[in-house]
């Protein structure tokens, strides 16, 4: 009889298994879907890093008009910087009034502050409003604009060899750091009376005159004693009234307030039955 026909060839997968049956690790892992480098999935460019329409327009016009292209890119860069600066603004900025460089200080006092070594030290070492406020809470024990040196003696109400006080150096540094309303509200509510007094001085120099009463009203009945100098003390309420009604205070000249603002403060003090400077002729002062 004729020999039997040869068996059919094994299927491909059986052949693949037979080839690796002797391998110590068994069958290799199945091939991945992207073994071919040319078949790798393309990375999607995120929208944030995609070129903006302005950049695309600038690149199209770069060959024809390089000046126009660079101007378009510069305008886009300025817009980005403005957006970043807007995001860094304090949540509730304090509205400043008057001179934004010298804090409306008397010129002589301003020059003394800039030249004192203490101000130079805190300018180099204090870079946040919180650091300045901590220093005020820790150091301040009087509120005058000047302090007398060891060899200085008061003469006829004025001081010889005046040096700017610590509180005014710190307040000017705080002014440079541009505090927001939350800082001043925290100062006015602070348990330390000298922190509250420092807040009144800062507001008297830097705030819009028509907004002063809204800040000062809370301390008009504060009977806590504070030292203005080593020889003179008063309550915070008396200190607040003096800041509102006088333009010469703390051995320096305060920025003048509009007459209508002073009269309004006098009227409100009368309604609260507080003593005020009712006899002053503000029409003549104007």
What's the rounded mean pLDDT across residues 65-91? 54
Q: 173-210 pLDDT, tens per residue?
A: 999 999 988 898 899 999 999 999 999 999 999 999 99
Asked if residue 72 has pLDDT above 50, the reply is yes
- pLDDT at res. 44: 52
At 10-67, the pLDDT tens digits run: 555 555 555 555 555 555 555 544 444 444 455 554 544 455 565 565 555 555 555 5
Using the predicted structure, report yes or no on whether residue 83 has a pLDDT greater than 60.
no
User: Would you say 243 and 237 are in contact if contact means Cβ atoms under 8 Å apart?
Assistant: no
Percent over 70 (pLDDT), the chain: 61
pLDDT over 50 (residue 266): yes
pLDDT of residue 283: 42
Residue 174 near residue 195 (C-beta atoms within 8 A): no
Q: Is the pLDDT of residue 156 over 50?
A: no
Question: What predicted TM-score, i.e. pTM, was given to this entire model?
Answer: 0.64
Q: Which residues are within 8 A (CB) of 204 and not within 5 positions of it... i.e. 6 or more apart?
A: 212, 243, 244, 254, 255
What are residue 248's DSSP bridge partners? 253
| Element (DSSP H or E) covering residue 197 | helix 193-206
């Amino acid at each position: 009889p004729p020999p039997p026909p040869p068996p059919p060839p094994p299927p491909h997968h059986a052949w693949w298994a037979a080839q690796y049956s002797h391998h110590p690790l068994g069958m290799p892992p199945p091939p991945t879907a992207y073994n071919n480098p040319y078949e790798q999935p393309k990375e999607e460019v995120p929208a944030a890093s995609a070129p903006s329409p302005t950049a695309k327009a600038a690149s199209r016009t770069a060959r024809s008009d390089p000046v126009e292209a660079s101007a378009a890119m510069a305008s886009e860069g300025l817009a980005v910087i403005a957006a970043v600066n807007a995001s860094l603004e304090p949540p509730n900025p304090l509205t400043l009034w008057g001179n934004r460089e010298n804090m409306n200080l008397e010129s002589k006092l301003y020059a003394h502050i800039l030249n004192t070594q203490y101000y130079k030290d805190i300018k180099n070492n204090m870079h946040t409003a919180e650091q300045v406020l901590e220093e005020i809470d820790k150091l301040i024990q009087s509120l005058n604009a000047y302090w007398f040196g060891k060899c200085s003696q008061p003469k006829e109400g004025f001081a010889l060899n005046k040096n700017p006080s610590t509180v005014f150096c710190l307040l000017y540094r705080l002014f440079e750091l541009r505090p927001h309303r939350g800082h001043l509200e925290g100062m006015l509510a602070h348990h330390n009376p000298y922190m509250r007094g420092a807040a009144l001085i800062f507001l008297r120099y830097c705030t819009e005159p028509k907004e002063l009463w809204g800040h000062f009203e809370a301390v008009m009945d504060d009977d806590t004693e504070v030292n203005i100098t080593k020889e003179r003390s008063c309550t915070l309420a008396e200190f607040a009234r003096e800041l509102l009604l006088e333009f010469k205070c703390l051995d320096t000249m305060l920025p003048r307030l509009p007459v209508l603002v002073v009269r309004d403060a006098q009227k409100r003090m009368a309604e609260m039955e507080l003593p005020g400077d009712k006899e002053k002729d503000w029409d003549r002062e104007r």
